[in-house]
């Protein structure tokens, strides 16, 4: 534990002591001195009884800043909100940024949401209701309505006045969006432009008309890609008629990138990687469906090996290399799968056709298969003093790697074409499929040269 972490832990312990000893003023002073992230870490480590003391010591407004940084996918979010008095929780949600409040409410039982909304003032409640209606994992579900907009036919002086008057409630002020009288997005002005330009200049003369925006229905991955390409801190969200509806900020996109990465890792591994803190029974229940499914697919491989039992009984040496060929092909398939999923995620190959990508992967598989096959041919030939056997193993290895490489690329690309998440083509699935095809290739090649390598 580094020095800063140790100091923070001591601070947390002091806060607990003040909490239990009803040292109201000391607790408030020391708690509110913490960064909001550290406040959240302290809060999430408390018991339910200790959290009730926090609600008594802090106002909803003071707690709102902390809840703005608490991850909405925290498994205890519903417990946090339902243990508060409904009016207290509603007031806290009202003081949060709207998009963050919506994220928390989306984690609740749908029957509880109207209760919290009923305690809010109509303006906040209506803003939240509007955002709750957008489909999950879209720009609409990510955006906030707390932004600053101005009109084109005003001076920079009046624009700065608008910015100053609305800055406290806005989630970010680095960009000010310019709209026309119909609230259609027509331009953007940076904070720098507002500061350095003449106060009597017109907004229309200073603003940039080349505005990059996202549509309210765009997938969150596409929104994240736009942030990545343009290095923005915020992006405006519009409808089909270019009406400005809200903005997406970079802090929300960081969460999206984290979620998408976890989703891709989960798909590649065939398991939920967020189960770190789950109890063993719950973790096992999440892993078992994939394992049982793959078990039955693996039984197909076992059945196939059984079909070639007579061949193995005539040349028992073949059994020695089964795991070597299936394992190497499985590794090649997993490598190809990881590259394919990454390629689809960053969309760098949009100019390449589906056929070109497949051809590229076939050639990659042939090269890696050829080099690996030649290597194992030499090793087995020298080791067993039988280069015919080495040729069989090497040829089977090359063919198995080529097929596995093709499957690892083709399956996620096909799934993406069909509209499914390519990450679901998990590593364990590709590995098991590679086992099946590798065994089929291996024994068919071996049967063709049986009489030549049996002494």
Distance CA 38, CA 152 (A): 42
| Same domain for 193 and 118 | no
| Same domain for 348 and 236 | no
Distance CA 265, CA 73 (A): 17
DSSP3 helix / strand / coil % (the chain, rounded to 5): 65, 10, 25
Is residue 427 within 8 A of residue 270, CB to CB? The reply is yes
Distance CA 431, CA 439 (A): 12
pLDDT at 330: 86
DSSP state of 85: -
Predicted confidence (pLDDT) at residue 350 exceeds the cutoff of 80:
no
DSSP state of 111: T
For strand 149-151 and strand 244-249, is the pairing parallel, antiparallel, or unpaired? unpaired
Distance CA 443, CA 400 (A): 11
Is residue 139 within 8 A of residue 216, CB to CB? The reply is yes
| Same domain for 155 and 116 | no
| Same domain for 153 and 135 | no
Distance CA 431, CA 434 (A): 5
Distance CA 63, CA 55 (A): 8
Residue 275 within a domain: no
Give residue 71's domain range.
3-142
| Same domain for 302 and 415 | yes
Average pLDDT, integer, range 53-77: 85
Q: Which tokens belong to 143?
A: 């955006």
Predicted confidence (pLDDT) at residue 275 exceeds the cutoff of 70:
no
Residue 393 within a domain: yes
Q: Which tokens belong to 98?
A: 């709207």
Find where tokens 């709207």 sit.
Answer: 98
Average pLDDT, integer, range 131-159: 91
CATH number of domain containing 155: 3.10.580.10
Last residue of a domain, one of 113, 142, 171: 142
Rounded to a whole number of angstroms, the CA Rg of the chain reads 30
| Same domain for 252 and 130 | no
Find where tokens 């409640």 sit.
Answer: 125
User: Coil, strand or helix: which one is 152?
Assistant: coil
Residue 163 within a domain: yes
Last residue of a domain, one of 142, 164, 193: 142
| Same domain for 184 and 120 | no
C-alpha 243, offset from chain centre: 29
| Same domain for 154 and 123 | no
For the ranges 33-37, 57-61, 264-268, the lowest mean pLDDT is seen at 264-268
User: Coil, strand or helix: which one is 207?
Assistant: coil
pLDDT at 358: 78
φ, ψ for residue 259, nearest 5 deg: -65, -45
Instruction: State the pLDDT confidence band at 72, using cuts at 50, 70 and 90.
Output: low
| Same domain for 155 and 127 | no
pLDDT at 39: 93
User: Coil, strand or helix: which one is 243?
Assistant: strand
Distance CA 342, CA 354 (A): 16
Q: Give me the helix-helix angle, 36-44 and 24-33, nearest 10°.
A: 120
φ, ψ for residue 149, nearest 5 deg: -130, 150
CATH number of domain containing 50: 1.25.60.10
Residue 263 within a domain: no
Residue 219 within a domain: yes
Which residues have CB under 8 Å from 407's CB, separation 6+? 333, 336, 430, 433, 434, 437
CATH number of domain containing 303: 1.10.357.20
pLDDT at 255: 82
Predicted confidence (pLDDT) at residue 283 exceeds the cutoff of 70:
no
| Same domain for 178 and 84 | no
Model pLDDT for residues 367-412, shown as the tens digit of each residue: 999 999 999 999 998 998 889 999 999 999 999 999 998 888 888 7
Residue 262 within a domain: no
pLDDT at 362: 84
* DSSP-derived secondary structure for 409-454: HHHHHHHHHTTS-GGGS-HHHHHHHHHHHHHHHHHHHHHHTHHHH-
Distances in whole angstroms, Cα of residue 30 to Cα of each of 5, 14, 17, 69 = 16, 9, 12, 19
C-alpha 301, offset from chain centre: 34
Percentage of the chain surpassing pLDDT 70?
A: 88
Residue 94 CB neighbours (<10 A): 22
CB hemisphere CA count around 64 (13 angstroms): 18
User: Coil, strand or helix: which one is 174?
Assistant: coil
pLDDT at 296: 81
Instruction: State the pLDDT confidence band at 353, using cuts at 50, 70 and 90.
Output: low
For strand 214-215 and strand 234-238, is the pairing parallel, antiparallel, or unpaired? parallel
Q: How many domains does the chain have?
A: 3
Residue 164 within a domain: yes
For the ranges 45-49, 224-228, 291-295, the lowest mean pLDDT is seen at 291-295
Residue 324 within a domain: yes
* DSSP-derived secondary structure for 300-314: HHHHHHHHTHHHHHH
φ, ψ for residue 276, nearest 5 deg: -55, -45
Last residue of a domain, one of 107, 142, 177: 142
Is residue 113 within 8 A of residue 125, CB to CB? The reply is no
| Same domain for 443 and 298 | yes
| Same domain for 230 and 96 | no
């Amino acid at each position: 534990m580094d020095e800063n972490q140790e100091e923070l832990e001591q601070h947390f312990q002091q806060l607990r002591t003040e909490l239990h000893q009803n040292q109201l003023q000391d607790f408030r002073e020391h708690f509110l001195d913490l960064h909001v992230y550290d406040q959240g870490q302290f809060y999430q480590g408390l018991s339910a009884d200790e959290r009730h003391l926090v609600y008594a010591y802090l106002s909803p407004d003071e707690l709102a800043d902390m809840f703005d940084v608490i991850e909405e996918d925290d498994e205890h979010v519903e417990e946090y909100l339902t243990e508060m008095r409904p009016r207290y929780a509603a007031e806290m949600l009202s003081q949060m940024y709207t998009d963050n409040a919506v994220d928390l409410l989306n984690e609740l039982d749908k029957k509880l949401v109207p209760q919290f909304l009923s305690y809010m003032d109509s303006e906040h409640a209506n803003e939240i209701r509007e955002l709750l209606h957008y489909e999950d994992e879209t720009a609409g579900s990510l955006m906030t309505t707390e932004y600053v907009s101005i009109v084109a036919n005003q001076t920079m002086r009046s624009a700065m006045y608008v910015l100053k008057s609305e800055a406290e409630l806005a989630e970010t002020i680095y960009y000010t969006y310019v709209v026309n009288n119909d609230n259609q997005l027509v331009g953007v002005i940076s904070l720098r432009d507002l500061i350095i330009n003449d106060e009597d200049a017109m907004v229309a003369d200073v603003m940039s008309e080349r505005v990059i925006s996202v549509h309210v229905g765009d997938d969150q991955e596409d929104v994240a890609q736009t942030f990545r390409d343009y290095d923005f801190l915020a992006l405006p969200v519009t409808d089909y008629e270019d009406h400005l509806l809200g903005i997406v900020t970079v802090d929300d996109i960081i969460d999206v990138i984290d979620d998408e990465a976890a989703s891709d890792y989960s798909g590649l591994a065939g398991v939920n990687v967020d189960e770190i803190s789950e109890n063993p029974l719950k973790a096992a229940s999440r892993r078992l469906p994939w394992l049982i499914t793959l078990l039955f697919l693996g039984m197909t491989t076992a059945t196939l090996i059984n079909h070639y039992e007579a061949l193995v009984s005539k040349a028992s040496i073949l059994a020695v290399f089964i795991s070597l060929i299936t394992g190497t092909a499985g590794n090649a398939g997993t490598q190809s799968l990881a590259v394919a999923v990454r390629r689809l995620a960053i969309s760098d190959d949009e100019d390449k056709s589906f056929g070109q990508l497949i051809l590229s992967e076939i050639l990659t598989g042939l090269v890696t298969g050829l080099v690996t096959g030649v290597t194992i041919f030499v090793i087995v030939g020298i080791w067993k003093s039988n280069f015919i056997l080495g040729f069989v193993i090497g040829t089977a290895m090359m063919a198995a790697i080529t097929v596995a490489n093709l499957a690892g690329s083709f399956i996620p690309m096909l799934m993406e074409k069909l509209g499914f998440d390519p990450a679901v083509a998990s590593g364990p699935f590709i590995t098991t499929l590679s086992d099946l095809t590798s065994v089929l290739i291996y024994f068919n090649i071996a049967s063709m040269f049986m009489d030549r390598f049996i002494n």
